[in-house]
Structure 1
């Protein structure tokens, strides 16, 4: 069960971004804005061709930069020179190491380690994440959708807090061709005996699932994603300890 700092303040989803103002998700500017407002920061990590961890949500380049193909097929040196589309400041994706240098303990971090295509990539990303965090002094937790990533992170010697990200597994657009038995296992958190996650990050409409309510009742912290209005925040806070938000001011 997790310690308090990452749950102390609302968590800005991919930083405090606002595309209309040219502040793009997972960018230097979005993270700086979150720090200025005193919010926690959520970010995403992907693996590059040369085994570097980069702060980037998608596994494909097309939505966020002027490029095509998969992040895994591009070296970090090339990706970090591609401006994020719509960025007023000309921000480019950062390596995880550069991101940690930017934050330097000034905000609690909730770091999502993205699911990878195969076991080798899962291990490689886990290894790089653990290496990068070895000397970092600020408050942070890790989280992931993938139980295998939790195992990989532990296998690399990580002893800190790791959360499982979950939802109702009732959205075909999200789960694709995932087998029903796998969805059942994930929906009900039946992997806990071997993942031993320490907190839960749950989609806001799934907070009343029996498994979520059970783990929270026995002391596990729950954060809710992604909350996009004050009304949603009021509902989510009935069953969650903190919110991951975007598109509104949770302090208003």
Structure 2
């Protein structure tokens, strides 16, 4: 069943990794509090800890965003929670704690990062952890992933939650670890029907792709990432019904 993306996801631009800025690092509690105060929907990223908990963090490795190093997947949830994010004083937040913080005040657009490594079928633990954390949550939520296998698993576990595909031109430069045949396949966004996606979130630089127009004509909602100026937002909105933004007041 294709579950429509609720209107609150379209009413205001979506804050990319929260409304982050000085003293409010990306995907931090501070960035989420700022987004709530400003009334922006929140986009966030989830990775899996070594002990099977969903953690709010974008990168696969700790190096860019913390003073620690190594893979997120090799650390337990409690250890990750104690590692401060650069530019802030708080550790990497557990997904469940962020749900308690947001508490339905603004919509949540949640990206599950690919856990297979090559957009393949080795998924399940992160999706299971997300489903457990979302049990009983009240408020607008939508799930998405670059990996169609992950989105299909979300459909199985949470059939009532809107879901979509994060999509891209899938160049070799941007996706060096994904085999060329997989990149070629994903570029055509072939899984929208299979996973019953109600939306895609597409790279703003590639919104002119005919397949995007085709999906929009068929009734899928088109979101895009990542917009960094009012001028870029105006350009993207010629195609997209909403944008994911950062670096300016949208």
* Common fold: TM-score over 0.5: yes
Aligned-pair CA distance for 1:102: 0.4
Aligned to 1:22, the other structure's residue is in SS state coil
Contact 2:155 2:163 in 1 (8 A): no
Asked if 1 retains the 8 angstrom alpha-carbon contact of 2:19 and 2:35, the reply is yes
Could you tell me how far apart the structure 1 residues matched to 2:158 and 2:176 are?
A: 32
Contact 2:165 2:192 (8 Å CA) reproduced: no
Aligned residues of 1:114 and 1:144 also touching (Cα < 8 A): yes
Say which is worse superposed, 179-188 or 219-228, in terms of deviation.
Answer: 179-188
TM-score with structure 2 length normalisation?
0.93
CA distance in 2, matches of 1:226, 1:157: 27
Structure 2 match to 1:178: 178
Higher helix proportion: 1
Contact 1:130-1:158 within 8 A present in 2 as well: no
Secondary structure of 2:194's counterpart equals: helix
The reply to whether residue 208 of structure 1 matches residue 208 of structure 2 is yes
Question: More displaced, 43-52 or 153-162?
Answer: 153-162
When residues 120 and 209 of structure 1 are mapped into structure 2, their CA distance, relative to the original with a 3 A threshold, is closer
- Are 2:116 and 1:113 aligned? no
Tell me, yes or no, if the aligned pair for 1:185 and 1:191 is still in contact at 8 Å: no
Contact 1:97 1:132 in 2 (8 A): yes
Question: SS where residue 90 of structure 2 aligns?
Answer: coil
Query: Secondary structure in 2 aligned to 1:192?
Result: coil
The answer to whether the Cα contact below 8 Å between 1:47 and 1:121 also exists between their aligned partners in 2 is no
CA shift, 1:188, in A, is 1.1
Tell me: CA distance 1:22–1:157, structure 2 relative to 1, closer, same or farther (3 Å). Answer: closer
Q: Name the residue aligned to 2:58.
A: 57
The answer to whether 1:7 aligns with 2:36 is: no
- State the Cα deviation string for residues 8-54 of structure 1 (Å, max 9, x = none): 21000000111xx2210000110011111111100000000000000
Q: Is the 8 A contact 2:143 2:154 kept in 1?
A: no
Q: Name the counterpart of 2:144.
A: 143
Q: In the TM superposition, what is the alpha-carbon distance from 1:200 to its structure 2 partner?
A: 0.6
Which region of structure 1 is more displaced relative to structure 2, 112-121 or 36-45? Answer: 112-121
Show the counterpart of 2:37.
Answer: 36
The alpha carbon displacement at 1:143 in A equals: 0.9
The farther-off stretch of 102-111 and 191-200 is: 191-200
Cα distance in 1, alignment partners of residues 132 and 159 from structure 2: 9
> Which position in structure 2 is the counterpart of 1:78?
79
Instruction: Find the aligned partners of 2:174 and 2:169 in 1 and give their Cα distance.
Output: 10
Length-normalised TM-score, structure 1? 0.93
Q: Which residue pairs with 2:95 in the alignment?
A: 96
The 3-state SS of whatever aligns with 2:224 is: strand
